[in-house]
Amino acid sequence: MTTVFEAAGGTEGILRLAHAWHERVLADEVVSHAFSHGFRPDHTVRLAAYWSEALGGPAAYSGSYGDETSVVRIHSGNGEHDEMNRRAVDCFDVALVDADLAGDDRLRGVLHDYFAWATWNTMYQHSGEAIPDGMSIPRWSWDGLEEP
């Protein structure tokens, strides 16, 4: 069986999705607030590397940019933002269509479930101080979260 990464078109497909999602969130009046302080010019490339690794692809993110601890710390300490989370997931669902990844119901469902889980459970801790060192990027398969 192929990985979710392979089914999504590999590096090219995930990069299309990262670009589509980034465009959607920048256009959203609520979610775009997360980027109001600016963002790295290579944000979508880094995002695609992260998603690729999380979805069963190569260790492109951890091999070049950092580990899960660094990702979670960047996104933490901003308090709860339920509306932003909901809208970010909505943007992701539309980005799946934009990136031509919504045609297969199983793939679309797994990608949605991954992104919703990551948004609500890993990315936005309440305090960066409580995040341990050395965390690895969670891996997601056709069956959901894989045990480390």
Question: Do residues 69 and 133 make contact, with C-beta atoms less than 8 angstroms apart?
Answer: yes
Q: Which DSSP letter does residue 2 get?
A: -
Low-confidence ranges of the chain (pLDDT < 70): 1, 36, 38, 75-80, 122-129
What are 114's two structure tokens? Answer: 């991954």
Report the pLDDT value the prediction gives residue 78, as an integer from 0 to 100. 60
So what's the pLDDT on residue 6? 98
Q: How far apart are the first and last CA of the chain?
A: 20
Number of neighbours of residue 43 by Cβ within 10 angstroms: 14
pLDDT, residue 112, reads 98
**What is the CATH topology of the domain spanning 4-146?**
Globin-like (1.10.490)
Judged by DSSP in three states, 135 sits in coil
The pLDDT assigned to 79 comes to: 57
For the chain, count helices (H), then strands (E).
6, 2
Buried b (16+ CB within 10 A) or exposed e, 70-93: ebbbebbeeeeeeebbebbbebbb
The neighbour count for residue 143, using CB atoms within 10 Å, is 7
- Which residue is it, tokens 């069986």? 1
